[in-house]
Structure 1
Amino acid sequence: MGLAVTGLMLAGCGRVVDARASAREAAFEAEFPPTGQLIDVQGTTVHVDIRGSGPDLILLHGASGSSRDFTFALADRLAERYRVLAFDRPGLGWTEDIGAQTPNPIAQAELLRAAADQLGVRRPVVLGHSYGGAVALAWGLRAPGDTAALVIVSGATMPWPGTLTGWYAFLETPFGDRVGPPLLTALAPVSLGNRIMAGIFAPQAVPSGYADYIGVGLAARRGNYRANASQINTLRAYLRVMSPQYPRLTMPVEVIHGARDTIVPASVHALPLSDALPDAALTILPDQGHMPQHGDPQAIIDAVDRAAARAGLR
């Protein structure tokens, strides 16, 4: 009898939590709608924000985020001389997941390349930040002849030593997957996301207005939690497959990284990546952490311009 009562109580609590999570998700989505357009790509909804004119420039955001990271400020500056297409990656922002292939950076690149093709993109410069750096490299590997250049910003691009622990390891368990995202979506205060954000930006401060614009609530949806966790937990295995192929990438590549990045250390990622690429130019920003697109946006713009010039687009 005791176990039966306990089971009913837990089931009731689960329904309450799920209802609360659904209500918060609806509120988050109403507050932070798509900034661009939603297009159908092979049956999957993809969100892309397009602005400016000139050579095509693809922007791929990092873990947990969305295209809003770029459209906060950087995209408008780049749009002065490029046609900028900022995508939400699969399972994040307003782009739907792609099922079992959601954590596969190669499958992500293929979906977004198909979206770009629908939009008339030809020989783009592809910029990827953090996790998006892995997707940018996958883009180049899958379409070397139609990728003008790559720009890898704070890229998570090489298999790293050790294993993931804590929150991400917990979400990999069946119990963690079932209870973690609903509880956080339903109950976690937005201020928790702001504290996490501050750690990601360190040693730089979060730019004024960024927290209000980025839409922390979009990342706090159950589907986002699960998609992001699966992508991070499996990335190293995909990089083990991808990294031996990097010497095939003969297009110009600008590798730019903060020396004070403790989330994706330059010594583990940027330095060996630049050594592996035939035509890489490495820039280490001495005072920057993981978010140089905000801490030193001109350095990123300069890197894009160099990549475009090296590719003969400017």
Structure 2
Amino acid sequence: MNRDATPELREHVSAPVVAGRRTRILDTGSGPVLLCSSGVASVLWDWLPLARLLRDRYRVVVVDRPGYAPGDPVTPELPTLEEEAARLVAVLDTLGITEPVTAVGHSFGAAVVEATARLHPGRVSGLVLLDGSVPEAEGTDHGVDAARAARRFRRATLPVALSRPVGLLWRALGPAVFTGSVPARRRVAASLGCRVLSEAASQSTMAASLRDLVGYRSCMHHLEELRATTPLPPRLPVLVVAANGRLPRRRPSAWVRHVLRQARALDREARVTTRVVSRSGHFVMLDRPVRTAELITEATGH
């Protein structure tokens, strides 16, 4: 990442109150709107390389997940796709964006933007799903009791995660986990300095990640239900991007085959284009930002 661009991008980060909750947002550039939604254990800064590449021709809006910004409280409520979709729409309203947008989702964020297109069809003109979650591959539990899971999280997991001993341990290990799990984050950390690493060591970021993991299967189950009951807008353009792993491969990985199978199912109700990105881990926008920017530009026609 160009170091000179980083301070300017940081100036475009704000934290307005959206639907009663402080929400950190990156809003930079001008042109057609790209609304970007992160996945589990992913923060706003993961989108910086892509935002820098696209801001000259798009208005790039990145929405941080609840609880991931420093100082944000981690509530015990587990995520639901209805609330996640409503939050994205509320962000658009807060920013005064009334025209339909291209919604870009990474990982779990892909499920969120798809749900937004299904539940709020007038607000979405296209979807870009970056290595998005695949319910059939990652496991859904049709018998999951979301209320029981929420109680366990509230009474046991969250108090332990926010305890002092765990906080001390996470402050020591958090930065290494943050950059070790996604090596490309080191470039972002180098450009932003201690800010990113201090956030990685934040107890709230860790606790919010655990909250999202606990609620993940229930959300995947609900995505399956939405696909059966609430269609996408007819002929909605959808770009499905699958990451084939950091090492060279002659054939698509098992994960890529799952993603492409899901894309074929979506093609029955939308206008789906698929692309496989080689030499990339799960975080495509960090591992291959230039290629990802090219694909988004190609898909939107801008």
Q: Is 1:252 matched up with 2:234?
A: no
Q: Is 1:276 matched up with 2:274?
A: no
SS in 2 for 1:284: strand
SS in 2 for 1:134: helix
Q: Give the whole-Å Cα distance in 1 for the aligned partners of 2:162 and 2:73.
A: 16
Q: Give the whole-Å Cα distance in 2 for the aligned partners of 1:94 and 1:141.
A: 32
SS in 2 for 1:288: coil
Paired residues, number: 267
Deviations 1:206-238 (A, max 9, x none): 543436637243244333323221211221222
Q: Give the whole-Å Cα distance in 2 for the aligned partners of 1:172 and 1:101.
A: 9
Residue of structure 2 aligned with 1:120, choices 77, 91, 96: 96
1:259 shift after superposition? 1.2
Match of 2:64 in 1: 88
Match of 1:188 in 2: 170
The 5 A counterparts of 1:164-243 are 172=153, 174-182=155-163, 183-201=165-183, 205-210=184-189, 213=192, 215-243=196-224
TM score, norm. by length of structure 1: 0.73
1:254 shift after superposition? 0.6
Q: Is 1:106 matched up with 2:82?
A: yes
Instruction: Flag the structure with larger Rg.
Output: 1
Name the stretch that deviates more: 100-109 or 36-45: 100-109
Residue of structure 1 aligned with 2:32, choices 48, 55, 77: 55
Residue of structure 2 aligned with 1:267, choices 251, 257, 281: 257
Gaps of 5+ in 1: 1-32, 165-170
SS in 1 for 2:24: strand
SS in 1 for 2:22: strand
Match of 2:50 in 1: 74
In structure 1, give the amino acid aligned to 2:257: S
Distance 1:138 1:101, change over 3 A: farther
Distance 1:39 1:98, change over 3 A: same
1:255 shift after superposition? 0.8
Q: Give the whole-Å Cα distance in 2 for the aligned partners of 1:95 and 1:156.
A: 28
Q: Give the whole-Å Cα distance in 2 for the aligned partners of 1:257 and 1:151.
A: 11
Gaps of 5+ in 2: 1-9, 142-151, 248-253
Name the stretch that deviates more: 51-60 or 180-189: 180-189
1:108 shift after superposition? 1.7
Distance 1:107 1:212, change over 3 A: same
Contact 2:40–2:209 (CA under 8 A) maintained in structure 1? yes
Q: Give the whole-Å Cα distance in 2 for the aligned partners of 1:305 and 1:234.
A: 33
In structure 1, give the amino acid aligned to 2:55: A
Q: Give the whole-Å Cα distance in 1 for the aligned partners of 2:159 and 2:129.
A: 34
Contact 1:109–1:135 (CA under 8 A) maintained in structure 2? yes
Q: Is 1:43 matched up with 2:32?
A: no
Q: Give the whole-Å Cα distance in 2 for the aligned partners of 1:108 and 1:173.
A: 19
1:159 shift after superposition? 4.2
Q: CA RMSD in A?
A: 3.2
In structure 2, give the amino acid aligned to 1:227: A
Deviations 1:251-294 (A, max 9, x none): 111111211279x93334x2232022132111111321112212
1:78 shift after superposition? 0.7
